[in-house]
Structure 1
Amino acid sequence: MSAHRAPPPWWYDAGREPPFVARLLSAIYGAAIRTRLALYRGGLLRRRRAGVPVLVVGNLVAGGSGKTPLVIALVERLRAAGWTPGVATRGYGRDDSATPLWVDAQTDPVRGGDEPVLIARRTGAPVRADRDRLAAARALVAEGCDIVVCDDGLQHYRLARDLEIEVLDAHRRHGNRRLLPAGPLREPVERAAACDFHVANAGDGDANVGFGEWPMRLLSGHALPLLGGRPQPLSSFAGQRVHAVAGIGDPERFFAMLRGLGIAVVPHAFADHHRFEADDFQFGSDLPVLMTEKDAVKCTAFVGDRHYSVPIRAELPEAFWIALLDRLPHRPGAPA
C-alpha cells in the first residue's frame, strides 16, 4: 500500500526555516526560471499560436488545487456558449508519455492518465495528451475545435495563450511563498499577477478567498456504484463508518467533505496519481468504500459492489462566467 507523501512541513509554515540545502537549490532553480521567463519576454524564445483562442488553467503551487474540476466546468460552459472546445494536457503519470495520444472515455488510464480519462468521460470533448502542448493544441484544431483549454499549462510558455487562470487552494494559498524545494512554488509568486483570473478553491466554503479572486466550491451529492447501479445520495451514508480513498494532491480535502456530511471516515490517503492495485483495498473490514472520481477510473478491474465513486462538480459565481466569456474573442460563425 502506498502512503500519501505529505509536503515538507516548512512549505506551509512560514515560521519554519527550510533547510540550507533546500534554500540553495531553490536559489538555483529560481535563477533558471527567471532566465527562461526573460528569454520569452525578450523574444529570444518564441511563443507560437495554435490558430484559435487558448485558455490555460494552472497553478504556481506544486500539487493539486482543483484544476481538473475547473477544466470540466470550463468545457461545459464553453460548449453551452456555442464553442467547440478541446482539452490539451500532458497526462501526468501515463505510460509512454513521450507518445501523443487521443484520450477518450474508454482509454486505459495507464496509457492516457487518470485526469485526461476523467475529463474525457465527464465532458465527451476531444482530449489530446502530449508533453508538447502546442502540438496538442494544433491537433485539436485540426479535429475541428475552435477553442482549446490547456490543462496545467501556466509554465508552458511556447504555447501562446489568450487567457490564463490561476487556481489555488484557498487555505494553503502560496504556502511560504518560496520556490521549490524550499517552498511549494513552481514560479516566483509575482508571476500570479500576470494571470487574467484567479480562482480560489475554497472547498465547501469561502474561507480565505482574497480580493480579486473568484471562489470555487467543489460539490457532490451522490455516490456511483463502480459496478453499475443506481446512484446513492451521499446523505444515505451519514452516521455510517466508511473507508474513504483519495490519491490526490490534498486527500484531506476529500475526507473533510465527507465528514461535513456526517459520514464517519476511515481515511486512506495515497500519493497523487497513485496506480492502484487490488491489495490497496485490503482494509480488514467490510465497510462501504468511497473514493474520488479520479481514483475510481483506475479501479474498476478489481472492486466490488461496496465500492463507490464520488463525482465532484465545480461551482463558481455566475459573474465569473460572464467576465470570462466577455474576455474571449468573437466566436467564428456567431452573430455579430
Structure 2
Amino acid sequence: MRPPAFWMNPRTAPGLAARLLQPLGFAYGAATARRVARTGYRASVPVICIGNLNVGGTGKTPATLALLMRVSGAQVVSRGYGGALAGPVRVDPLRHSAAEVGDEPLLLAAFAPTWVAKDRAAGARAAEAAGAKLILLDDGFQNPSVHKDLSLIVVDAERGFGNGLCLPAGPLREPVAAGLARAHALLSIGDPAAQERFQRDWGHLIALPHLRGVLRPLKMGMDWQGQRVLAFAGIGHPEKFFATLRSQGAEIVRAVSLDDHQPLSDTLLRRLEAEADGLGAQLVTTEKDQVRLPASFRPKVLTLVVRLEVEDWSALDHAIAGLA
C-alpha cells in the first residue's frame, strides 16, 4: 500500500486533504505523547531502541544489522510484524517461518539471538535470562513498555519527515520536535543529494548527534552488468531497490512492487516465475523478501544484499560506551 502523495512534500503549505485531516493528526500526536509518558520495564542491561517517527520503511533493519557488527553480547527483541507467534520465543531460522515470526526477525536471527514478543517487556526479560549483555529493541520508539537507555531515530533522507504532520494528515507517529527531543541520536540514510535536501528541510530541528549513512550493495562476486532481471520487492520503498539494481548495471525488464511484508503466495510466485521465463529474465529480490520465500523456491531467485555504511560512528559509539 503506497502512502498518499500529499504526505510527502515538506516544501509547501499543506494541501486541502492534509488541512482537512490535520485535526485528527493533532489528536494522534497528543495520544502518542500521553502514551510515551508512561514508565516501562527497566531491564538490568542497556536497551538501545532503533526506531523511527515515520510509518513505513526507513532503514531500521540495516541499521540494526550495522549496530550488531559494532557491539558485543547483543540480543535483538522485536514485535515480529505479521508473525503469528505471540512469544516470547527465540527465532530459529531452521525451524521458524516468516509467517510465524515475521521477516525482519528471521533475517536478524542469522546474525544474533533474536526474540519475537508481542509484549516487548516479556521479550526483554527473555533476552536477559538468556544472557544478553545489551538489548537492541527493533522498533518500539513510541511503545512505552520498555525503558530505553538510548534511542536512535532512523529516517530516509530522500523522504525526510514528509509534510511534517501526524497520521492521518501525514506520515508521522508523533511530531518531529517531540520525537527528536526524546531521542539520543538521528541517522539519516541516503545519497549525498538526499542528505543535502534533508538537512535543508529539517536541519533547523536537529539538535542531537546526526549520523549520515548510505545503503550499498555487498560485494558477493555477482556481476549484474547486462543481466536481464525481473525484480520484485515487498519492502517500504521498492523503488529504491530497483534503483540500486540499475546502478549495478542490471537491465530490469519488469519491476514488481509489492506491499511491505506481503506474503509470497504460491500463486504469486508461479506468476512471477512464468513472467520471468517469458521475458528471458532472472528473478531477483531483496534480502528481506528472500527469507519469506519457500525453501523450494529460493534456488530460483537471486538476492541483492545491501549493507549500511555510516560516515562517522563516533558520536553513537561514545554514547553506547557510556551505557556500560
Which TM-score tier does this pair reach, normalised by the shorter chain? 0.7 to 0.9
Q: How is 1:131-280 mapped onto 2 (pairs within 5 angstroms)?
A: 131-190=118-177, 191-202=179-190, 207-208=195-196, 209-210=198-199, 212-222=209-219, 232-233=221-222, 236-265=223-252, 266-280=254-268
Q: CA deviation at 1:206?
A: 5.9
- Residue 9 of structure 2, aligned match among 10, 13, 35: 13
Residue 110 (structure 2) pairs with residue 118 (structure 1): no
Given that 2:87 and 2:123 are in contact with CA atoms closer than 8 Å, whether structure 1 keeps it comes out as: no
Given that 1:241 and 1:263 are in contact with CA atoms closer than 8 Å, whether structure 2 keeps it comes out as: yes
Q: How is 1:36-185 mapped onto 2 (pairs within 5 angstroms)?
A: 36-37=35-36, 40=37, 45-79=38-72, 84-96=73-85, 98-106=86-94, 107-121=96-110, 123=111, 125-185=112-172
Given that 2:35 and 2:143 are in contact with CA atoms closer than 8 Å, whether structure 1 keeps it comes out as: no
Which range moves more in the overlay, 295-304 or 187-196?
295-304
Q: What is the alpha-carbon distance in structure 1 between the residues aligned to residue 227 and residue 304 of structure 2?
A: 16
Given that 1:86 and 1:145 are in contact with CA atoms closer than 8 Å, whether structure 2 keeps it comes out as: yes
Q: CA deviation at 1:277?
A: 1.4
Q: 1:53 to 1:19 in 2, by over 3 A?
A: closer
Q: CA deviation at 1:259?
A: 1.1
Question: What is the Cα-based RMSD across aligned positions, in Å?
Answer: 2.1
Q: What is the alpha-carbon distance in structure 2 between the residues aligned to residue 21 and residue 108 of structure 1?
A: 42
Q: What is the alpha-carbon distance in structure 2 between the residues aligned to residue 204 and residue 273 of structure 1?
A: 28
Give the TM-score taking structure 2 as reference length: 0.87
- Give the letter for the 2:310 counterpart: L
Counterpart for residue 225 of structure 1: none
Q: What is the alpha-carbon distance in structure 2 between the residues aligned to residue 36 and residue 177 of structure 1?
A: 20
Counterpart for residue 313 of structure 1: 307
Q: What is the alpha-carbon distance in structure 2 between the residues aligned to residue 27 and residue 35 of structure 1?
A: 12
Q: What is the alpha-carbon distance in structure 2 between the residues aligned to residue 152 and residue 304 of structure 1?
A: 28
Give the TM-score taking structure 1 as reference length: 0.84
Q: CA deviation at 1:113?
A: 0.6
Q: CA deviation at 1:55?
A: 0.5
Encode CA deviations 1:283-304: one digit per residue, 9 max, x unaligned. Answer: 4232111100100011133526
Q: CA deviation at 1:195?
A: 1.3
Encode CA deviations 1:217-236: one digit per residue, 9 max, x unaligned. Answer: 111145xxxxxxxx551xx2
Residue 32 (structure 2) pairs with residue 33 (structure 1): yes
Structure 2: runs of 5 or more not aligned: 204-208
Counterpart for residue 206 of structure 2: none
Q: What is the alpha-carbon distance in structure 1 between the residues aligned to residue 131 and residue 188 of structure 2?
A: 32
- Give the letter for the 1:142 counterpart: A
Q: 1:34 to 1:304 in 2, by over 3 A?
A: closer
Number of aligned residue pairs: 303
Encode CA deviations 1:107-161: one digit per residue, 9 max, x unaligned. Answer: 211111100000011x1x2111112222211210110011100001211223111
- Residue 323 of structure 1, aligned match among 306, 315, 320: 315
What is the percentage of aligned positions where both structures have the same residue? 35
- Give the letter for the 2:260 counterpart: D
